[in-house]
Amino acid sequence: MKKKLVVLSGAGVSAESGIKTFRDAGGLWEGHDVMEVASPEGFRKNPSLVLDFYNQRRRQLFEVQPNKAHYIIAELEQDFDITVVTQNVDDLHERAGSSNVVHLHGELLKARSVNSYDSFDWKGDIHLGDLHTDGHQLRPHIVWFGEAVPAIPDAVSVVEKADIVIVIGTSLQVYPAAGLIDYASPKAMVYYIDPNPAPIHNLRNPLEVLAMPGSEGMQKVKDKLNG
């Protein structure tokens, strides 16, 4: 039976594809305070700005490609039973070939009504006044700060069963996502790939930190796992 491997990915895994991370540019995300464009308060205050911000992110997604880190993660499915638990709202893991991806913070290519959690595929822009058939405004299917993270129980369950955990490209600042590694079985090996790794305290597990970009780090981890 294949060993179970969980990849916990954040914005850094998509950095080499040309998508900006959240906290590497002095706290600004594409020129905006994160709370302005990623919170229900921000959406209430200026819905057009928030919708337009995600319209731009969605359009950008069609211009970027998965990078070597995404591809290595997908290739490892040949030898491991892999679940990718990502904080990212892009679809680059799927496009690289990963078949089992849990999106903790939603997906840019999905929309929903402001009145419901039921999401559906959506590739175009969303404008103020675009209504769901339920009569309510459409919004991006993104989990904003302060909102529930419905995928967390599934994510906890896969992390608990993992033999190996790879944490890649996350500053480990946003909870509950950042707390997922604490659910790993104490025997599970944990690799953390990030050029500027956050300190990890009180982890019961064997831990190897690879302070380098995602593509290089994934190549090294792949060599270790195959060796």
Query: What is the binding site for ligand OAD (CB under 6 A)?
Result: 10-12, 15-16, 21-24, 34, 38, 87, 105, 143-145, 169-171, 173-174, 194-196, 213-214
Q: Least Å distance between CB 15 and ligand OAD?
A: 4
Residue at shortest CB range from ligand OAD:
12
5 vs 38, which CB is nearer to ligand OAD?
38
Minimum distance, C-beta of residue 175 to ligand OAD, in the bound complex (Å): 10
Smallest gap from residue 56 Cβ to ligand OAD (A): 14
**Cβ proximity to ligand OAD, 22 vs 191, nearer residue:** 22
Nearer to ligand OAD, 105 or 141 (CB): 105
Strand pairing report for 28-29 and 189-193? unpaired
- Helix axis angle for 68-75 and 214-226, nearest 10°, is 20
- Euclidean distance between CA atoms 25 and 117, whole angstroms: 31
Minimum distance between the CB of residue 170 and ligand OAD, rounded to whole angstroms?
A: 3
Q: Which listed residue (70, 103, 105, 141) is catalytic? A: 105
Residues in Cβ contact with 199 at an 8 Å cutoff, skipping those fewer than 6 apart: none
Q: Which two tokens stand for residue 70?
A: 């995404």
Q: Which residues contact 225 (CB under 8 A, 6 or more apart)?
A: 5, 76, 79, 80, 164
User: For residue 189, how many other CB atoms are within 10 A of its CB?
Assistant: 19
Strand partners, 82: 5
Residue 105 known to be catalytic? yes
Beta carbon nearer to ligand OAD, 33 or 134: 33
Structure tokens at 125: 């822009």
Catalytic residues: 105
